[in-house]
Structure 1
Amino acid sequence: MSRVVTLTLNPALDRSVTLDALRPGHVHRARGTRSDAGGKGVNVAACLADWGVPVAAAGILGQDNAAPFQALLAAKGIEDRFVRIPGETRTNLKLFDAETGDTTDLNLPGLAVDSATLDLVRALLRRDVTSDALVVLAGSLPGGVVPGIYAEIAAELRPRGARLVLDASGSALAAALAAPAEALPFAVKPNRHELEDWVGRPLPTLADVVGAARDLVARGIPLVVVSLGAEGALFAAADSMVHAHPPPTRVTSTVGAGDALVAGLVAGLHAGLDRVATARLAMAFAAGKLGLAGANLPARETVLAIARTVRVESLDVPV
């Protein structure tokens, strides 16, 4: 069984506020609030732990408010590999509009990280990552960290036999995709908007998304997963292109749905599932999480039942 490690360099305490309807410029009365220890890699690790996959979570935390993260990792049985530094981990505000089902994110600045801290994180990764490990590099970067950090980490870990799964955006994603072949990730999971940013043009149709995903595969990335919101997700590889359609789902919170998709992808890779089964499982993780607040999955039987309802369409498009 391969080891799974997630890396979150810029975690956050997610403060979710539910509103009857979001009206810019108006005073609102919150229907409810909750606070969750989060960040992309933390959320991925939480979902994997719920599924029963042994996982370690690495990254950087501010020691002044590390308690919620420590409690989450302990409760879910996630190995804590975070480095603590002085200061507070950032807080992100997520405004959920119950009328439309949309979430508005307000992401605050993170901790400033010095080179010594980053060197320590990288040394711990090199120590912990063994042959055939699955390593999830996820999320934005804190101040003081160069956009090419994910490519640098990939170049260090790939020779050890690790498979890197990247979920990033903006300059961090662009730098990782511009890396030499030996430093490219095994899989990337952009959403449609992030893919549009990378190609530099809108991708209004599925055919446009297929073409952009095909370009990434041609660059040497074995697996490209593009999340499409309510339209599901596209899974592209050199030998296949499939479109997974989500089942009708009651939405409690969209926070972390993309992270749950990544967790389902990693769970499929960890179990050695084929492409179609992996697509079904990834979509079931995302759909199951939509019915729950926080980075949580429903019971295993519920996720498997959802997976059986996911329609996977094989696209007759050469990749």
Structure 2
Amino acid sequence: MSAVQRIASLTLNPAIDQTVVAPGFSLDSVNRATSTQSDAGGKGINVASFLARFGHPVVGLGLLGEDNEAMFTQHFQRVGIEDAFTRIKGATRTNIKIIDPPTNRITDLNFPGAQTSAHDLEAVERALMMAAIDGLDWLILSGSLPLGLSDDSYLRFIKWARMTGCKTVVDTSGGPLKEAIAAKPDVIKPNVQELREYLLAPLASPEDVADAARTLVEDGISMVVVSMGHQGAVFCTKEGAYHALAEAPKIVTTVGAGDAMVAGVVHGHVEGKSLEEMSRTAIAFSIGALGEIGPRIPEPAQIAELETLVRLSPI
């Protein structure tokens, strides 16, 4: 392993992820749940949890509602995330995931989140400055923005990171993705639909996605990773591009799979892996998360086994 690198993961719109297992779930009918599970979630918190599981020092930043913070603080203590979240009035939202095991269909009901303001964003920025006193190598910006924050809210963090030499990873969508790409973070991880919406292009094949990713790399982004669901993912840098694909041994839920891919990419960078090795690791993280209920990932030994399932094709 290379020298220890410190990572910060920012989540401005976290959520309690309530996963409900309801066999035969259908709309406009009475459905019966066989189990339910609630987890502290939000894209950046998931990423931080996966990285902490692999032994990386991670600080969590963002906004948490005071009314139901206990689940989050307990989770941070349990998995080893340094808690630098800013507390705000109200409650953190709950997102509901309904799983139908016979069909593997998943229905998401995502809520908008608490009302926030520019003042709250400034408080998060101050928390980042404090966290960076001990040194910071990576800043991960993940997820949607809560009510009250503008699409360019990630820009101040990307600009700060560039000035301090901290590498940035962005995983968001829509207007925030467009604004972030303009600021040229080091790594972006859209899914294929998010990239289609940004480019206004169909991107029908992995080859199309690779061509689009190369354009973004040539424009100043060091690495572009595009997740494509059952079609795997495309990983692109100046050194080349790979289409990575693997069949998940078990699919329980898709919750956290994209976040696990982000964690795998950062883990690969910290470990000094090549693009080929990093692609295998990121896919293994992702398919490992598919087999777990809630934002969880298998043990490192199991991830190593999953890496052997990944098929890579230069593209």
TM-score, normalization by structure 2: 0.95
Q: Take 1:78 and 1:106, find their aligned partners in 2: how far apart are those partners?
A: 27
Instruction: Name the residue aligned to 2:62.
Output: 59
Among residues 74, 77, 80, which one is paired with 1:77 in the alignment?
80
The percentage of counterpart residues that share the same residue type is 41
Instruction: Name the residue aligned to 2:181.
Output: 177
Instruction: Name the residue aligned to 1:145.
Output: 149
Counting only pairs closer than 5 Å after superposition, residues 29-44 of structure 1 correspond to structure 2 as 29-44=32-47
Asked if structure 2 preserves the Cα contact closer than 8 Å seen for 1:50 and 1:76, the reply is yes
SS of the equivalent of 2:308 reads helix
Q: How many residues were matched structurally?
A: 311
Asked if structure 2 preserves the Cα contact closer than 8 Å seen for 1:126 and 1:157, the reply is no
Asked if structure 2 preserves the Cα contact closer than 8 Å seen for 1:9 and 1:139, the reply is yes
Instruction: Name the residue aligned to 1:300.
Output: 300
Among residues 134, 150, 166, which one is paired with 2:138 in the alignment?
134
- Structure 2 segments unaligned to the other structure (5+ residues): none
More deviation, 127-136/20-29: 127-136
Deviations, residues 117-136 of structure 1 (Å, cap 9, x unaligned): 21111122133237661111
Shift of 1:270: 1.3
Q: Take 2:198 and 2:282, find their aligned partners in 1: how far apart are those partners?
A: 23
- Shift of the 248–289 alpha-carbon distance from structure 1 to 2, 3 Å rule, reads closer
Instruction: Name the residue aligned to 1:88.
Output: 91
Q: Take 1:114 and 1:305, find their aligned partners in 2: how far apart are those partners?
A: 45
Paired AA for residue 246 in structure 1: A
- Structure 1 segments unaligned to the other structure (5+ residues): none
Instruction: Name the residue aligned to 2:114.
Output: 111
Q: Take 1:203 and 1:277, find their aligned partners in 2: how far apart are those partners?
A: 25
Deviations, residues 27-57 of structure 1 (Å, cap 9, x unaligned): 2111221111100000001111111111111
Asked if structure 2 preserves the Cα contact closer than 8 Å seen for 1:8 and 1:41, the reply is yes
Instruction: Name the residue aligned to 1:159.
Output: 163
* Superposition RMSD in Å: 1.3
More deviation, 239-248/165-174: 239-248
Shift of 1:22: 3.0
Q: Take 1:52 and 1:293, find their aligned partners in 2: how far apart are those partners?
A: 21
Paired AA for residue 250 in structure 1: K
Q: Take 1:219 and 1:249, find their aligned partners in 2: how far apart are those partners?
A: 37
Counting only pairs closer than 5 Å after superposition, residues 1-319 of structure 1 correspond to structure 2 as 1-129=4-132, 133-179=137-183, 184-315=184-315
SS of the equivalent of 1:36 reads strand
More deviation, 120-129/61-70: 120-129
Shift of 1:207: 2.1
Q: Take 1:12 and 1:294, find their aligned partners in 2: how far apart are those partners?
A: 12
Deviations, residues 46-96 of structure 1 (Å, cap 9, x unaligned): 111111111111110001000110111000011001011110000111111
TM-score, normalization by structure 1: 0.94
Shift of 1:97: 2.2
Asked if structure 2 preserves the Cα contact closer than 8 Å seen for 1:49 and 1:55, the reply is yes
